[in-house]
């Protein structure tokens, strides 16, 4: 490893491709140029980078800087947070962690069965805090549609923030039957969302189960998105489609998997529980994105 390179791990949460980069002890950051270069390589393609920095606030274990695959910053990533917990738990033997992100403080814990719970905090419903470009008294159903006015393909999403903006479109048939790869970019960049938005298609399949697909802001069509699962669970309960505890099946996840979500009544916090998986580790330049794979994983350099 050269002096410029730091350790990183290729991981995933329900197929959500994550790079966990260890920036502790350094003052620099993973650059947008490095992120774009890493995403351009099929071996290191990712949805989010979770860069672990030294803590900024007392009582926290780390500051987490989150980057999307296009090099932009992200405020929250639930699946990525679970990957960070698994990596640090393996390193330290600890089970509970407190992280600080742009979106706020996150508490997380690894359970004995290997599943990881993350307290994603409280959802935000006020239109100007999501934010939306227009005022809506009730953001559980906003005026927005794709397709013909008299027969829209998608319409009337629930809007909210989980530290990042979300729009959840409710459908009554298989979520895979919608061309999200076509509609996703249009909706992500719609003028209604001044900071863009994560776009989810959701089908309630029972009073306690939901199936989703998500177009992720700054990352595109993703295999899974933890904050979108949180937004879907909260929006389903908020609109009376389900109760406050649901299982969300992520239609695109490989292998197929589920997340357990609870919108806790006592404090309105959203608790997300699910798996994380380590794939391989290596070293990477946070400036350029040049990387190499650890020898025990098969030496390889880029």
Domains delineated in the chain: 6-110+277-301 (3.10.310.10), 145-268 (3.10.310.10)
Q: Which residue has the higher pLDDT, 76 or 59?
A: 59
To the query of whether residue 225 is one of the catalytic residues in this protein, the response is yes
240 vs 89, 142, 173, 210, CA distance in Å?
Answer: 37, 16, 19, 13
The answer for residues whose C-beta is within 8 angstroms of residue 151's C-beta and 6 or more apart is none
Summarize pLDDT for 184-220 with one digit per residue, the tens.
999 999 999 999 999 999 999 999 999 999 999 988 8
The owner of tokens 């998986």 is 277
Cβ count within 10 A of residue 268: 12
d(CA 143, CA 95): 44
Is 77 among the residues known to form the active site? Answer: yes
3-state secondary structure of 86: helix
Which one of 87, 199, 225, 253 is the catalytic residue? 225
Q: Tell me the pLDDT tens digit for each residue of 170-189.
A: 999 999 999 999 999 999 99
Question: Nearest CA to 65 among 53, 56, 78?
Answer: 53
Interval 127-158: pLDDT, tens: 999 999 999 999 999 999 998 989 999 999 99
Catalytic hit among 20, 37, 77, 120: 77
Answer yes or no: are the C-beta atoms of 201 and 171 closer than 8 Å: yes
pLDDT given for residue 254 in this prediction: 55
Q: What is the pLDDT of residue 252?
A: 65
Q: Look at 258 and 125; give whichever has higher pLDDT.
A: 125
Q: Dump pLDDT digits (tens) for 264-284.
A: 999 999 999 999 999 999 999
How far is CA 88 from each of CA 30, 32, 48, 296, rounded to the nearest angstrom? 19, 24, 17, 20
């Amino acid at each position: 490893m050269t002096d410029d390179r730091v350790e990183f791990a290729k991981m995933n949460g329900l197929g959500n491709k994550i790079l966990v980069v260890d920036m502790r002890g350094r003052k620099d950051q993973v650059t947008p140029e490095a992120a774009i270069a890493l995403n351009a390589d099929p071996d290191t393609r990712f949805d989010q980078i979770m860069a672990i920095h030294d803590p900024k606030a007392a009582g926290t274990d780390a500051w987490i800087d989150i980057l999307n695959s296009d090099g932009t910053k992200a405020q929250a990533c639930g699946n990525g947070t679970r990957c960070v917990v698994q990596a640090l738990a393996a390193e330290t033997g600890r089970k509970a962690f407190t992280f600080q992100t742009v979106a706020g403080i996150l508490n997380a814990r690894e359970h004995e069965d290997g599943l990881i719970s993350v307290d994603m905090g409280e959802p935000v419903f006020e239109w100007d805090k999501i934010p939306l470009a227009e005022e809506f008294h009730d953001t559980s159903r906003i005026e927005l549609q794709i397709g013909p006015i008299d027969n829209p393909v998608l319409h009337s999403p629930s809007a909210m923030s989980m530290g990042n903006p979300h729009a959840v479109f409710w459908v009554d048939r298989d979520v895979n039957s919608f061309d999200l790869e076509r509609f996703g970019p249009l909706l992500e960049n719609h003028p209604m969302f001044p900071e863009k938005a994560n776009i989810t298609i959701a089908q309630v399949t029972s009073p306690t189960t939901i199936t989703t697909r998500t177009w992720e802001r700054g990352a595109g069509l993703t295999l899974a998105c933890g904050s979108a699962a949180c937004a879907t669970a909260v929006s389903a309960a908020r609109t009376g489609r389900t109760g406050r505890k649901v299982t969300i099946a992520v239609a695109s996840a490989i292998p197929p998997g589920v997340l357990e979500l609870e919108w806790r009544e006592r404090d309105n916090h959203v608790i997300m529980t699910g798996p994380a998986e380590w794939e391989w580790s290596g070293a990477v330049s946070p400036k350029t994105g040049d990387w190499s794979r650890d020898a025990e994983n098969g030496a390889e350099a880029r």
